[in-house]
């Protein structure tokens, strides 16, 4: 049952059975939509596109509500919005031919700018090897430019947990990549 005041809480997590009811779904959206829009804006940099991504994600979720078994609907929607925003950003990028792009000069190991990565995908590969909890916070912190508070809200963890997972992930990446 939903209390009148619970709709305006910072976060509202319905039980999965209640989630399939229209009024519970609306309350869930009303309570969490600002977070999802901010998440999408960080990726897309345009509020209109972010609103569209959130709306499309929620429409898909509503269509699939009978078949979904979600332990944490808020985290599920946040991740879906994040992935859909990344897809939209990737699709909207301008593609240039190789002739139009200047080749970047490679940094030498130990140069003033910092150590060079021996392979362009080395960082992404190293991030992929992190434990899932650390990988999520690194992606949200550095790819999506979210604050620790926003990461905590999206993953339903404390601000301190988000910060410590980031610290441990960065330490692991430094070790893997041989960076001080």
pLDDT of residue 8: 35
- Flag whether pLDDT at 156 surpasses 80: yes
Contact 177, 122 (CB under 8 A): yes
Q: Which residues contact 46 (CB under 8 A, 6 or more apart)?
A: none
Tokens 């031919």 correspond to 97
pLDDT of residue 1: 33
CATH, domain range 118-177: 1.10.10.10
pLDDT of residue 131: 92
Same CATH topology for 4-92 and 118-177?
A: no
pLDDT of residue 148: 85
Between 7 and 64, name the one with better pLDDT: 64
DSSP designation for 101:
S
Domain-by-domain residue ranges, the chain? 4-92, 118-177
Burial (CB count <10 Å: 0-12, 13-18, 19+), residue 115: middle
- What's the rounded mean pLDDT across residues 31-44? 90
Convert the pLDDT of each residue in 106-150 to its tens digit. Answer: 444 444 444 555 566 788 888 888 999 999 888 888 877 788 888
CATH of 4-92, one of 1.20.120, 1.10.1740, 1.10.287, 3.30.70: 1.10.1740
Strands (E), the chain: none
pTM value surpassing 0.75: no
- What's the rounded mean pLDDT across residues 83-97? 71
Q: How many CB atoms lie within 10 A of CB 179?
A: 11
Q: Is 142 helix (H, G, I), strand (E, B) or coil?
A: helix
Q: Which residues contact 144 (CB under 8 A, 6 or more apart)?
A: 39, 42, 43, 82
Please report, rounded to a whole number, the percentage of residues in the chain having pLDDT higher than 90: 12
- Flag whether pLDDT at 51 surpasses 80: yes
Mean pLDDT over each residue of the chain, to the nearest integer: 76
- Flag whether pLDDT at 23 surpasses 70: yes
């Amino acid at each position: 049952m939903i209390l009148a005041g619970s709709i305006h809480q910072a976060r509202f997590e319905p039980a999965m059975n209640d989630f399939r009811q229209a009024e519970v779904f609306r309350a869930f959206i009303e309570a969490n939509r600002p977070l999802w829009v901010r998440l999408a804006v960080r990726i897309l940099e345009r509020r209109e596109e972010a609103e569209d991504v959130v709306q499309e994600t929620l429409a898909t979720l509503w269509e699939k509500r009978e078949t979904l078994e979600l332990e944490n609907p808020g985290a599920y929607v946040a991740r879906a919005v994040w992935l859909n925003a990344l897809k939209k950003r990737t699709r909207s990028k301008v593609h240039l031919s190789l002739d139009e792009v200047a080749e970047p000069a490679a940094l030498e190991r130990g140069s003033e700018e910092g150590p060079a990565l021996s392979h362009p995908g080395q960082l992404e590969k190293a991030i992929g090897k992190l434990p899932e909890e650390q990988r999520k916070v690194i992606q949200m912190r550095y790819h999506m430019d979210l604050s620790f508070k926003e990461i905590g809200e999206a993953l339903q963890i404390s601000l301190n947990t988000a910060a410590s997972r980031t610290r441990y992930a960065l330490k692991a990446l430094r070790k893997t990549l041989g960076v001080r």
